[in-house]
C-alpha cells in the first residue's frame, strides 16, 4: 500500500504530466529494438517498466528523454509531440522533468549541496546561501542531515549517494521523473529504503513517474501500474495489484525469476 501523502506537501502538489506513446519503433541497423510500443502514463501515476536484460528499456527511456531519435511513432508529453516539436518546446518539457540515473552519477568535484542544486544553477556558483538552504531542505526530504551538505560524494556511502541523486532529481519540482534502475548496487535493506522514498516523493509531489527496473521488489513498491516490455512491444500492462494474476505466461515467468 502507498504511504499516506504528507498534508503539507499536498498543498504544493504538481499536476503531473500526461504521457502517451504510440507506435514507437527504433532499430539499430538490422536489430529491431522497439517494434511498435504503445504506452500511457496518467498525470500523477507511477508506471514501472519491467523486462529482461537487453529488451530495450533503456532505449525506450532515451527516446522519451529525447536522447535518441525514434524511427517512427509519437511521444506526447502534455500534448507536445517530443519527436517533432521545436527545440524550445522540447526544452520546456525537459525543464519540467527530473532524472535519477543508474549509479547516481554525481559530480565528484562538487560537494553534496552543489550537486543537489546543480540543475537550478546550471553549475554556476550564484545565490550561494539560498541555494545551500534549498539543498538542505531537499536533503531532509530524502532523510539526510545537513552534516553531509559540505562533503564530497566520495566521502559518503553508496546508499547516501543515491539519496543525494534523488534529492537532485526532485530539486526543480518536476512534473515528471524518470528513475533508471534506482536500486542497482544496493543491498536489499538500502534498496527498500530507496524504493519507499521514491514512492513517498512521487505521492507527495504529485508528479508522474516512469521507472525502469528488473528488480521486482522495487517494481512492487514503486508502481501504481506495471508494463512489461518483451521483444520490442509492451506485452502486458496493468495495475500492480494484478501482477500476480496477469494471465500472461511471460509475466509469470519473469516475476518468478524463471529463465526457462
Ligand X SMILES: Nc1ncnc2c1ncn2[C@@H]1O[C@H](COP(=O)(O)OP(=O)(O)OP(=O)(O)O)[C@@H](O)[C@H]1O
DSSP code at position 55: S
Binding flag, residue 59, ligand X (CB under 6 A): yes
The CA distance from 123 to 127, in Å, is: 12
From its phi and psi, is residue 41 left (phi > 0), alpha (psi between -120 and 50) or beta? beta
Exposed, middle or buried, 19 (CB in 10 Å: 0-12/13-18/19+)?
buried
Q: Which residues from 109-168 bind ligand X, rule CB under 6 A?
A: none
The CA distance from 72 to 129, in Å, is: 47
Of 14, 38, 58, 193, the one binding ligand X by CB under 6 A: 58
Of 18, 41, 48, 57, the one binding ligand X by CB under 6 A: 57
Residue 99 or 112: the one with the smaller Cβ distance to ligand X is 99
Site stretch for ligand X (CB under 6 A), options 55-63, 72-80, 106-114, 203-211: 55-63
Site stretch for ligand X (CB under 6 A), options 47-55, 83-91, 105-113, 140-148: 47-55
Cell numbers 532505449 correspond to 59
Residue 171 CB neighbours (<10 A): 21
Binding flag, residue 221, ligand X (CB under 6 A): no
Binding letters toward ligand X, positions 17-46, x by CB under 6 A: -----------x----x-------------
The footprint of ligand X (CB under 6 A) covers 28, 33, 51, 53-59, 214
Amino acid at each position: 500500500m502507498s504511504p499516506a501523502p504528507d498534508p503539507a506537501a499536498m498543498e504544493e502538489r504538481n499536476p503531473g504530466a500526461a504521457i502517451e506513446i504510440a507506435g514507437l519503433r527504433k532499430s539499430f541497423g538490422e536489430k529491431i529494438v522497439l517494434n511498435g510500443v504503445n504506452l500511457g502514463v496518467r498525470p500523477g501515476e507511477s508506471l514501472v517498466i519491467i523486462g529482461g536484460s537487453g529488451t530495450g528499456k533503456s532505449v525506450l527511456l532515451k527516446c522519451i528523454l529525447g536522447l535518441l531519435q525514434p524511427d517512427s511513432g509519437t511521444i506526447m508529453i502534455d500534448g507536445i509531440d517530443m519527436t517533432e516539436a521545436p527545440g524550445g518546446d522540447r526544452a520546456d518539457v525537459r525543464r519540467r522533468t527530473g532524472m535519477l540515473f543508474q549509479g547516481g552519477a554525481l559530480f565528484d568535484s562538487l560537494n553534496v549541496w552543489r550537486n543537489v542544486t546543480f540543475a537550478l544553477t546550471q553549475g554556476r556558483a550564484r545565490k550561494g546561501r539560498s541555494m545551500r538552504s534549498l539543498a538542505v531542505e531537499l536533503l531532509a526530504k530524502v532523510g539526510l542531515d545537513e552534516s553531509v551538505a559540505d562533503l564530497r560524494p566520495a566521502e559518503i556511502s553508496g546508499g547516501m549517494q543515491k539519496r543525494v541523486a534523488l534529492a537532485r532529481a526532485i530539486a526543480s519540482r518536476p512534473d515528471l521523473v524518470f528513475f533508471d534502475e534506482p536500486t542497482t548496487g544496493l543491498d536489499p535493506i538500502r534498496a527498500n529504503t530507496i524504493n519507499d522514498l521514491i514512492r513517498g516523493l512521487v505521492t507527495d509531489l504529485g508528479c508522474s513517474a516512469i521507472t525502469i527496473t528488473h528488480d521486482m521488489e522495487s517494481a512492487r513498491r514503486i508502481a501504481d501500474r506495471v508494463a512489461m516490455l518483451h521483444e520490442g512491444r509492451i506485452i502486458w500492462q496493468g495495475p500492480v495489484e494484478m501482477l500476480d494474476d496477469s494471465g500472461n505466461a511471460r509475466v509469470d515467468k519473469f516475476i518468478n525469476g524463471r529463465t526457462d
